[in-house]
Amino acid sequence: MGVFLRNKKGSEIILPPMMFIILNLVFFGILLLFVIKASTGALVYEQVYAKQVALLIDEAKSDMQILVDFEEGVKVAEKNKKTSDLIRVDNKTNQVIVNLGSKGGYSYKYFSDYEVNVYDHVEENLIIINIGDKVWPDVIRPVDFDKEFSDEELEKAMNFAKSNSIEGRTCFCEKDCDSYVKWISESSKEYNVNSLLILAVMMQESNCKSTLVSSASAKGLMQLMDETANEMGVKNSFDPEENIMGGTKYLRWLLDKYNNDFSLVLAGYNAGPTNVDKYGGVPPFSETQNYVKEVTKRYALLGDVLNVA
Amino acid sequence: MLLRNKIGGEKLLSIWWLFTIAIVGTGIVFGVSMFYSAEIDVRGVEAEILSNKILDCFFEQGILISNLLENDFDIFQECKLNKKVIESAFYFNVSILDESGEVMKEIEEGVLTNACNLKNTEGCVSKERSIFYEEENEIRKWRLEILTASNQVGEEISLVQ
């Protein structure tokens, strides 16, 4: 073989040209890696997003909502194993602070004197900027399903739901609304399920109509199928109290099954746990995907109503 | 050019090769580091936004707001500008001049840097607007001059903070 030389003992050594090529490749490989690492570093993206958001706030007028594509930022943060608090504003110092996993992040100031709220919505790859005090009906923001609500808060939310369309649903309960609030509160305590979530699901399922029967024969306020109603111990699905209790018990069962993953819980409520297990997540049915989004959004909006009421 | 050893073979792995590659490597590392550690300069854009914002709040449907010439006119409140931020990292000067060029009103806030000694250099924006108004059946023409600048530098936050 021409490419190898032999030393005195007869073992093969690599010829200099071969070494030359290998060392060159290693050298340029290292350089390439360095350039890629430098150009995709967290600090570069932190600076870009902090300045972009600060400029948008400066240019905005009061009562505006701005959505910014945050896909690259989320990717960089994921690489650095950072999943929350990627961006925030300090209204006292007028600073936008972005932290995608570098040491402490990057901050940049805006000069507008508005009340500003900025959220990162990692699931939707968005930054949401709200300027001024206006409450946005279509706001998307991180949802805290672990928050607890008092009976008074639930009542306020129900009063709002009676007279407003929230994500296309209204509570048509009229005289019975107070009773529904009472039963939602009781079932929430009985099964340790968030009361506002029960209301959000109830609105999605039936617009709070206790006599509703769907084309698939789901019945009542929480739209229970006969089989599910039996399993949950519901004898009469048209009895509002029983129906709410049964629906809440079913939500509890799903919460335990899916380890409090609310997307899977809601998907399971709509498409059935068999489909969720089959697809290993939210099933690829547009109805179910919309269901999860709408209930989540409605829950967030009901929470907003309480914050401003 | 290749060096040859005693038996005439090409000596590729030489001290010169190492030297060349070290220079190339250092140059690329230095250049890339400099490029990506440099501030992305948005001061010009900021100055432009600031001047537009001030002009927007001075005019309502093309008409100069009536209280602008009053002594107690508070530009920060009227134009929704944060005083602390403007005073620490921005500059603006608004002058309203009459037909003879006499300054009728001047508002100046913030710190002017050397960069703005030459108008419209990076980080500075200079604009002019004509103001027409009627007084005693006569159309008068005033002039509004505005110079805005941004001196802001972003901040890397250390973990100690």
Where does the pLDDT of residue B11 fall: very low under 50, low under 70, confident under 90, or very high at 90 and above?
A: low
| Same-domain pairing of B75 and B132 | yes
**Which tens digits make up the pLDDT trace of B102-126?**
888 899 998 876 556 555 456 788 8
| Same-domain pairing of B20 and B96 | no
**Which tens digits make up the pLDDT trace of A177-194?**
889 999 999 999 999 999
Chain B CB contacts of A50 below 8 Å: 154
Q: Provide the 8-state DSSP code for B5.
A: -
Q: Find the mean pLDDT for residues A134-157.
A: 70
**Residue B160 belongs to a domain:** no
| Same-domain pairing of B95 and B120 | yes
**Residue B130 belongs to a domain:** yes
Question: The pTM is what?
Answer: 0.57
pLDDT at B40: 84
Q: Find the mean pLDDT for residues B141-145.
A: 88
| Same-domain pairing of B8 and B69 | no
Contact A145, A262 (CB under 8 A): yes
pLDDT at B122: 62
Range of the domain at B110: 43-150
Domains of chain A (ranges, CATH numbers): 42-131 (no CATH), 151-308 (1.10.530.10)
Interface pTM, i.e. ipTM = 0.80
* Whether A205 is catalytic: yes
Mean confidence (pLDDT) of chain B: 81
**Residue B78 belongs to a domain:** yes
**Which tens digits make up the pLDDT trace of A109-143?**
999 998 888 877 776 788 888 887 655 544 455 56
Nearest residue, CB atoms, B155 vs list A24, A59, A107: A107
SS3 of A96-155: EEECCCCCCCEEEECCECCCEEEEEEHHHCEEEEEECCCCCCCCCCCCCCCCCCCHHHHH
**Residue B30 belongs to a domain:** yes
**Which tens digits make up the pLDDT trace of A220-231?**
999 999 999 999
- CA-nearest residue to A59 within chain B is B49
Among the residue ranges A241-250, A284-293, B1-10, B83-92, the one predicted with the least confidence is: B1-10
Where does the pLDDT of residue B12 fall: very low under 50, low under 70, confident under 90, or very high at 90 and above?
A: low
Q: Find the mean pLDDT for residues A244-253.
A: 95
Looking at residue B78, which CATH number applies to its domain?
3.30.450
- How many angstroms separate the CA atoms of A66 and A116, rounded? 11
Among candidate residues A222, A153, A227, the one with its CA nearest the CA of residue A191: A222
Q: Find the mean pLDDT for residues A233-250.
A: 94
Query: How many domains are there within chain B?
Result: 2
Chain A CB contacts of B83 below 8 Å: 113
Nearest residue, CB atoms, A94 vs list B13, B46, B82: B82
| Same-domain pairing of B24 and B68 | no
